[in-house]
Amino acid sequence: MRLVQGNEAVVWGALASGCNFYAGYPITPATEIMEYMARLLPGRGGVFIQMEDELAALGAVIGAAWGGMRGMTATSGPGFSLMQEHIGYAAMSQTPCVVVDSQRVGPSTGQPTMPAQGDVMQARWGSHGDRPALVVTASSVKEVYDTTRLSFEWAYAYRVPVIILLDAVLSHMRENIELPVLPASAELASPSGDPELPFGSHPFMPFSAATRTIVSGLAHDESGATRGSGIGTANEQILKGAIRQIENDAPRLARCRADRLEDAEWAIVSYGITARTARSAVDLLRADGVRVGLLELHTLWPFPEQIVQALAQRVRGMLMAELNLGQLVLSLRAAAQGMCPVSGLGRADGELFTPEAIAAAMSAEIRQIEVGGRMSHHV
């Protein structure tokens, strides 16, 4: 058992997953990830490099992946915005990598030291064009570790940039957790596949003497060719395949935690640091005899539609609490398909909700529904 900070848990999770390459650019509240990596990677035979900006950081991580190393970077809002171009490149070139975004209040410089959850949609839809997205979050230091481990696994299984959303509180929070012993160096399975087919549904194969791969952000087919009349279709096929694979696996990828939902008439849905407040809000409401439970989402994208739908069929109303002015509530409402009213509670002033505030919003929604009112969206 030891006291571990959220950002430190990212590093341990990454190293335990065989991460041996880190490129980054300092930014609050993600910087400690970089500082730990700077101290640990050289002695482990891995690579640490501070790049000139976040575009360069993710570019280097992608280059390193093709050079055979497992890479990651970490940033916060302003850097995450810059990284969008290379998140798109990683998606297009099917390059496995992990990007941590420790969210702070935005837009722009915003409140650098204060928590937010305003990058949820950017993590899904950022970068131009259509792309598969795997976005995860966590609400405790232990989960940060577990989520990071899973992210590396998924990055390679699906050949996508996996995005981990943290926030300023979680990044700096310390909790006592049990960390597994770190292996001196992780055993990485050596890649195998057909050198002629480096893209599409085929496994990721870094450059070697046996390959003659062309990696490009241009539309391409499974062989990497970028020309020919059918390229548009071939490229669309690859992207569709990647998107569909994640959609098909959504039930397996949808990690969440159900808390007192068995007998619940009402559900609070939340994620990340806000889910912890929501858990306390459930305590308060339950003490008042309200049958409410919490659905805490760990996987944000793919959005766990089936789980939400099953819940929407059972409960009389749902409330989404999040530290933004109404983002994931849109997906929740879409998934609920009108089966129950969905309201949203948001703030973007740099403070966490108090349990009382979430409880009050849930109570207000209950009152409104019970008198037959319409769903509301108050932010």
Partner 1 sequence: MHRAWHGDPLHIRLSGRGGQGIILSGVVVAEAAMLDGKFVVHTQSYGPEARLGASKSEVVISAREIAFPEVAQADVLLCLSADAYQKYGERVAAGALSVIDDLVVGAGRATGEVMLPLRRTAREMGNELSANMVGLGALIAIAGIADPEHGRQAIRQWVKPEFREVNLKAFERGMELGAACVAAPS
Partner 2 sequence: MSDVGADLKRYLRSPMMPTVWCPGCGHGNIARAIATALDRLAIDLGQVVILGGIGCSGRTPFYFNTNAMHTTHGRVLAFATGLKLANPRLTLIVAMGDGDALAIGAGHFVHAARRNIDLTVILYNNSIYGMTGGQQAPTTPFSFRSTTSPFGSIEPTFDAVDLALAAGATYVARTTTFDFAEMPELISEAIRHPGFAMVEILSQCPTYFGRLNKLGDAPDMLEYERDHTVVADEEPNQAVEITRQDLVGNLPVGVFRREIRPEYVQQYAELSRGRGGNYGA
Say if CB 42 and CB 48 are below 8 A apart: yes
Is residue 189 a contact residue for partner 2 (CB under 8 A)? no
Question: How near is the Cβ of 28 to partner 1 at its closest, in Å?
Answer: 6
Please name the residue that has the structure tokens 């049990």.
178
102 versus 127: smaller Cβ distance to partner 1: 102
Question: How near is the Cβ of 32 to partner 1 at its closest, in Å?
Answer: 10
104 φ/ψ angles, rounded to the nearest 5 degrees: -130, 170
Question: How near is the Cβ of 257 to partner 2 at its closest, in Å?
Answer: 36
Question: How near is the Cβ of 62 to partner 2 at its closest, in Å?
Answer: 6
Residue 173, contacted partner among partner 2, partner 1, none, CB below 5-8 A by kind = partner 1
Binding mask 210-249 for partner 2 (x = CB under 8 A): xxxxxxxxx------xxx----------------------
Is residue 208 a contact residue for partner 2 (CB under 8 A)? yes
Residue 66, contacted partner among partner 2, partner 1, none, CB below 5-8 A by kind = partner 2
Say if CB 193 and CB 180 are below 8 A apart: no
Is residue 207 a contact residue for partner 2 (CB under 8 A)? yes
Say if CB 167 and CB 115 are below 8 A apart: yes
- Which residues would be at the binding site for partner 1 (CB under 8 A)? 1-3, 28-29, 112-113, 168-169, 172-176, 273, 276-277, 279-280, 283, 352, 354-355
Residue 169, contacted partner among partner 1, partner 2, none, CB below 5-8 A by kind = partner 1
Is residue 186 a contact residue for partner 2 (CB under 8 A)? no
Question: How near is the Cβ of 58 to partner 1 at its closest, in Å?
Answer: 24
User: Residue 184 burial by CB count (10 A; 0-12/13-18/19+): exposed, middle or buried?
Assistant: exposed
Residue 298, contacted partner among partner 1, partner 2, none, CB below 5-8 A by kind = none
90 versus 273: smaller Cβ distance to partner 1: 273
Size of the site for partner 2 (CB under 8 A): 48
CA 123 to chain centre: 7
Residue 118 CB neighbours (<10 A): 22
Cβ within 8 Å of residue 362, ≥6 positions away: 266, 268, 281, 285, 290, 292, 319
User: Which 8-state DSSP code applies to residue 68?
Assistant: T
Is residue 23 a contact residue for partner 2 (CB under 8 A)? yes
- The DSSP string of 251-291 is HHH--EEEES-TT-SEEEEEEHHHHHHHHHHHHHHHHTT--
119 versus 259: smaller Cβ distance to partner 1: 259
Cβ within 8 Å of residue 206, ≥6 positions away: 65, 66, 67, 68, 191
Report residue 152 as tokens.
């590396």
Binding mask 27-46 for partner 2 (x = CB under 8 A): --------------xxxxxx
Cα gap 104→111, rounded to integer Å: 6
Strands 111-115 and 317-322, by their bridges, are: unpaired
Residue 4, contacted partner among partner 1, partner 2, none, CB below 5-8 A by kind = none
Residues at the site binding partner 2, with contacts judged by CB under 8 A: 21, 23, 41-47, 49, 51-53, 55-69, 71, 85-86, 89, 206-218, 225-227
